[in-house]
Structure 1
């Protein structure tokens, strides 16, 4: 048999107490719960459940003040920085001759050196 709630008087909206809201929200937050089914179970509009759920999550997400604690500084231990490995020299061009000789020319090589090398290998 279904239950009917008759609301009389000026205010026709049902008042939901905090305990009733908590029970509805507990049912909503169960893994796998479907809001429309919970709404039917508790005879609540789904829009109310969404509103209550939004309010509950907003209340839990408020930022709180966390005091900063400054610890006494200990003696600093000097850390020796290890030298960085040398970066490989960028190759600007590679010249391959028909006899199988390959010459890789550095981007910083002077033009006179490159010309002399290529002429010698012709």
Structure 2
């Protein structure tokens, strides 16, 4: 790291940025804790992550994959597709705020799931 000019702006090398990005999630380290440890804003880490993804330099995540999920979206076609399947339902794990996790059957009704999420978040 190099400090330049009157405003004491820091310049990070790509290697230093990647080291900081790699520290997130190791042994349960949160992005906020890593940002504090390296004296960097959280938004800066998000910007670096986006920059490296766009350049194709960020390694693919290992483990869980998170997909967008909209509880309020119409589920007519999806519901018909699920009814046609004979495969046993999968267990879904949803990571909520403050380290909470909610595991549920993929066949759960949207209204029931919404009530569960609200109950867990309110606790």
Q: Same fold (TM over 0.5)?
A: no
Structure 1 or 2: larger helix share?
Answer: 2
TM range (shorter): 0.3 to 0.5
Work out which of the two has the higher radius of gyration on C-alpha atoms and give 1 or 2.
1
